[in-house]
């Protein structure tokens, strides 16, 4: 069978990877529009501290990951809304959380591989529980995203215009960061905290250059994300090397091609 789909772990990898790619693409597109890439980066890393804390308390590292990421998202949402101010707040939350993480590891006297493993992720080590959890959370995030889509789109493009039409811009921002925290929480154990941008930022960044409308960008980003995930898993299966390396590599390549080829595909009017 192609792609080793006769193996349960490959089915889990393809299914969970696809769910994560499909939720990362639209979330990442809005992350770019709203210039919240630093928040996404921070959220992917605070999960490590949560995992370390959970291990210390003999709980599942995933529980700690979700709890810490969501709590940090609330913290981020409360700390400033202007971009400059927001980045300082994110830096503070990230710093504090990672400090706690190091402390938890320091207090923990046994082998902490499970906490550190969170930073790397393992796409071929997904259990069926984790697969269904990822798919369920991804679906939930997409449903909420569709519900808040129009106000979010306007608020991301023009905050003042959105306020003028009575959109609760602040509350919407909080909901968005919480959704981002959920999307990041299911991605980190699969693709790893260090490589989360290969699905969250890579595909929307390429799609942004190629698509002229928000919906076109979302669709294209989702397709690119799926292609990267499947391509990465297939390359890893047939050729070797870790899948996350392949996904990151393909992501970078597609972005380069889009950035180089995008402007050439479309004859532009003279400025």
Partner 1 sequence: MTKWAIEAHALGCRLGARPVFSQLDLAVPRGALVGVLGPNGAGKTTLLRCLLGLARRTEGRLEVLGRDPGAVRASIGYVSQGEPPEMSLHLSAVASVAAAFQGERWGFPLHRRRERNHALEALEAAEAGALAQRPLGELSGGQRQRVRIAQALVNAPQLLLLDEPLASLDQGGQQAVLRLAKRLCLDRGITVLMSAHDLNPLLEYIDLVLYMANGQGRLGSVDDVVREDVLSALYGLPMRATRVDGRIFVHPDRGFIPELTDCCPHCEGCK
Partner 2 sequence: MRASRRILALFLFLLVARGAQAAPIAVVAAESTYGEIAQAIGGPYVAVRSIIASPRIDPHLFEAMPSVAVAVARAQVVVMNGLGYDAWMQKLLLASPNPRRQVVVAADLASNLIMSDRNPHVFYDLRVALITAARLAAVFAGLDPAHAAQFRANLAAFSQQLLPVYGQIEAIIAAHPNLAVTGTEPVFGYMLRTLGYRAVNRRVQQNVMNDTQPSPQEVVAFERSLRTHAVGLFVYNAQVQSPLTQRLTALAREAHIPVVGVAEFAPPGLPYPQWQLATLRLLAAALNGVRP
117 is an interface residue for partner 2 by CB under 8 A: yes
CB neighbourhood size of 225 (10 A): 31
Task: Give the Cα separation of 121 and 185 in Å (integer).
Answer: 11
Partner that binds at residue 114, options partner 1, partner 2, none, CB closer than 5 to 8 Å by kind: partner 2
Q: What is the smallest separation between the CB atom of 209 and partner 1, expressed in angstroms? A: 6
**Contact pick of 88, 95, 99, 106 for partner 2 (by CB under 8 A):** 106
In this complex, which beta carbon is closest to partner 2, that of residue 61 or of residue 151? 61
Burial of 227 (0-12, 13-18, 19+ CB in 10 A): middle
Q: What is the CA radius of gyration of the chain?
A: 19
Task: Give the Cα separation of 138 and 243 in Å (integer).
Answer: 21
Task: Give the Cα separation of 270 and 184 in Å (integer).
Answer: 41
10 is an interface residue for partner 2 by CB under 8 A: yes
State the angle between helix axes of 83-107 and 37-56 in degrees (0 to 180), rounded to the nearest 10.
20
**Contact pick of 208, 230, 246, 248 for partner 1 (by CB under 8 A):** 208
Question: Per-residue string for binding with partner 2, 120-149, x by CB under 8 A?
Answer: xxx-xxxxxxx-------------------
Task: Give the Cα separation of 184 and 160 in Å (integer).
Answer: 28
CB 162 within 8 A of CB 154: yes
State the angle between helix axes of 8-33 and 202-210 in degrees (0 to 180), rounded to the nearest 10.
60
In this complex, which beta carbon is closest to partner 2, that of residue 116 or of residue 259? 116
Partner that binds at residue 158, options partner 1, partner 2, none, CB closer than 5 to 8 Å by kind: partner 1
Which residues lie near partner 1 (CB under 8 A)?
32-35, 146-151, 153-158, 160-167, 208-209, 211-216, 268-269, 271
Residues at the interface with partner 2 (CB under 8 A):
4, 7-10, 12-13, 102, 105-106, 108-114, 116-117, 120-122, 124-130, 233, 236-237, 240-244
């Amino acid at each position: 069978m192609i792609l080793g789909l006769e193996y349960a772990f490959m089915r889990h990898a393809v299914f969970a990877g696809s769910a994560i790619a499909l939720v990362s693409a639209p979330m990442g597109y809005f992350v770019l529009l709203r210039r919240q890439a630093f928040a996404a980066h921070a959220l992917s890393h605070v999960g490590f501290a949560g995992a370390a804390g959970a291990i210390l308390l003999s709980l599942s590292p995933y529980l700690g990951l979700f709890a810490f990421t969501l709590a940090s998202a609330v913290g981020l949402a409360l700390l400033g809304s202007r971009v400059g101010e927001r980045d300082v707040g994110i830096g503070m939350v990230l710093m504090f959380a990672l400090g706690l993480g190091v402390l938890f590891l320091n207090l923990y006297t046994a082998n902490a591989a499970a906490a550190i493993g969170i930073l790397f992720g393992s796409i071929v080590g997904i259990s069926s529980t984790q697969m269904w959890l990822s798919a369920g959370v991804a679906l939930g995030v997409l449903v909420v995203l569709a519900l808040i889509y129009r106000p979010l789109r306007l608020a991301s493009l023009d905050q003042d215009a959105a306020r003028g039409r009575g959109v609760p811009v602040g509350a919407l921002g909080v909901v968005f960061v919480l959704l981002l925290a959920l999307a990041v929480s299911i991605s980190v154990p699969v693709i790893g905290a260090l490589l989360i941008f290969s699905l969250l930022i890579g595909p929307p960044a390429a799609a942004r250059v190629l698509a002229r409308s928000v919906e076109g960008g979302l669709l294209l980003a989702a397709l690119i994300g799926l292609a990267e995930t499947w391509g990465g898993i297939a390359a890893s299966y047939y050729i070797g090397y870790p899948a996350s390396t392949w996904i990151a590599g393909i992501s970078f390549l597609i972005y380069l091609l889009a950035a180089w080829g995008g402007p050439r595909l479309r004859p532009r009017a003279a400025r």
